[in-house]
């Protein structure tokens, strides 16, 4: 009997020990699990933060890339005119051009297919094919006459002709003679010599485009960057507009022409430049040597000497023609 009571007491003690052990485990295991969870969280937190930072940087880079001007955004290879081919840079837009204006004329001017070379007056390719972003289908005569200044004259002359402002077609010779197309059309011709140029009678009145081209060849022969200087005035960069020129008068000199302008919301301007050159060659849209795949020049980035792909212009070279 005593033995039975002793065994029963031992069983009760064992049961009590088990109960105590279970109770202790119930208290400490959650704490241990919680501690392990916190330690794991602390270990993973830097990784999670790093991933979040990487994602934020990636998103920022994507926004930056989408806003950066890229050739795919700026040059539409299938565009047939200047306005269709060259898109404004990010944040900029073209102002609406008045119908019949020089700006509208140039924006709508046809271009050769993308990638076409610049040709010389004799049909040969220009030696430097890395300076242009597009080639205008501006007419060019087969003599070595339509060079840099003459190309600018040709743009203005074609604009006045096709816009019905033929009375404005009048250009200065280097000797100061004023060659008015209206007099040429009525049959007067120009005589040149040691005493300067003068009008003489004896021609036939002719208002055809063919006779207009004969007049232009005469102008090309006796006009130059020196005469363009006499027909223009200096302007500031803030006033830059379509038709203005960067000019270095001389023999040889050079001239390039502003063929389009756009602005951002703050009024900052960007512009495109066109040129002809020596020997006589097709009028073409210049690249910007400071910006790969972006032919726009930005006024707030201009400093002197101002570099184009094939020439440098000094301070005071921006001028406005008085046509």
Domain-terminating residue out of 67, 83, 111:
67
At 73 the pLDDT is 87
At 194 the pLDDT is 85
Angle 144-230-179 from CA coordinates, rounded to 5°: 60
Residue 295 in contact with residue 74, Cβ under 8 Å? yes
Domain-terminating residue out of 30, 45, 67:
67
Query: What residues contact 308, with CB distance under 8 A and at least 6 apart?
Result: 246, 256, 273, 275, 286, 289
User: Whole-prediction pTM value?
Assistant: 0.79
Angle 309-298-137 from CA coordinates, rounded to 5°: 55
At 89 the pLDDT is 97
Domain shared by 90 and 238, yes or no: yes
Q: How many Å from the N-terminal Cα to the C-terminal Cα in the chain?
A: 136
Domain shared by 4 and 137, yes or no: no
Domain shared by 170 and 280, yes or no: yes
Domain shared by 167 and 229, yes or no: yes
Q: Give, for all 323 residues of the chain, the pLDDT tens digit.
A: 444 444 445 444 444 443 444 343 444 434 333 444 344 343 444 444 445 555 454 444 444 443 344 445 899 999 999 999 999 999 999 999 999 999 999 999 999 999 999 999 999 999 999 999 999 999 999 999 999 999 999 999 999 999 999 999 999 999 999 999 999 999 999 999 988 999 999 999 999 999 999 999 999 999 999 999 999 999 999 999 999 999 999 988 999 999 999 999 999 999 999 999 999 999 999 999 999 899 999 999 999 999 999 999 999 999 999 99
**Spatial separation of the C-alpha atoms in residues 195 and 68, rounded to whole Å:** 58
Domain-terminating residue out of 18, 45, 67:
67
Residue 111 in contact with residue 136, Cβ under 8 Å? yes
Tell me which residue range forms the domain holding 9: 1-67
Our count of domains for the chain comes to 2
212 belongs to a structural domain:
no
**Spatial separation of the C-alpha atoms in residues 84 and 72, rounded to whole Å:** 13
Q: Name the residue among 255, 252, 239, 251 with its Cα closest to residue 306.
A: 255
């Amino acid at each position: 009997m005593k033995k039975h009571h002793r065994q029963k007491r031992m069983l009760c003690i064992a049961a009590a020990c088990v109960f105590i052990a279970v109770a202790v485990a119930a208290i400490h295991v959650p704490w241990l699990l919680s501690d392990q969870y916190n330690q794991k969280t602390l270990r993973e937190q830097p990784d999670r933060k790093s991933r979040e930072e990487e994602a934020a940087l990636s998103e920022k880079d994507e926004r930056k890339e989408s806003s950066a001007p890229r050739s795919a955004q700026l040059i539409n290879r299938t565009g047939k005119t200047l306005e269709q081919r060259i898109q404004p840079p990010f944040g900029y837009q073209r102002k609406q051009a008045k119908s019949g204006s020089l700006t509208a004329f140039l924006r709508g001017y046809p271009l050769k297919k993308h990638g076409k070379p610049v040709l010389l007056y004799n049909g040969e390719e220009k030696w430097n094919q890395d300076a242009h972003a597009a080639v205008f289908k501006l007419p060019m005569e087969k003599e070595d006459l339509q060079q840099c200044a003459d190309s600018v004259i040709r743009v203005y002359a074609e604009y006045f002709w096709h816009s019905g402002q033929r009375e404005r077609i009048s250009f200065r010779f280097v000797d100061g003679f004023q060659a008015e197309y209206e007099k040429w059309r009525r049959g007067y011709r120009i005589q040149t010599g040691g005493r300067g140029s003068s009008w003489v009678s004896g021609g036939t009145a002719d208002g055809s485009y063919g006779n207009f081209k004969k007049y232009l060849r005469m102008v090309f022969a006796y006009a130059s960057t020196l005469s363009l200087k006499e027909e223009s005035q200096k302007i500031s960069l803030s006033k830059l507009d379509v038709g203005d020129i960067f000019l270095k008068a001389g023999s040889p000199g050079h001239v390039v022409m502003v063929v389009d302008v756009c602005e951002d919301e703050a009024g900052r301007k960007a512009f495109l430049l066109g040129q002809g050159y020596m020997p006589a060659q097709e009028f073409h849209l210049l690249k910007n040597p400071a910006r790969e795949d972006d032919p726009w020049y930005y006024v707030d980035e201009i400093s002197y000497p101002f570099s184009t792909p094939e020439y440098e212009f000094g301070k005071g070279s921006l001028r406005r023609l008085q046509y």
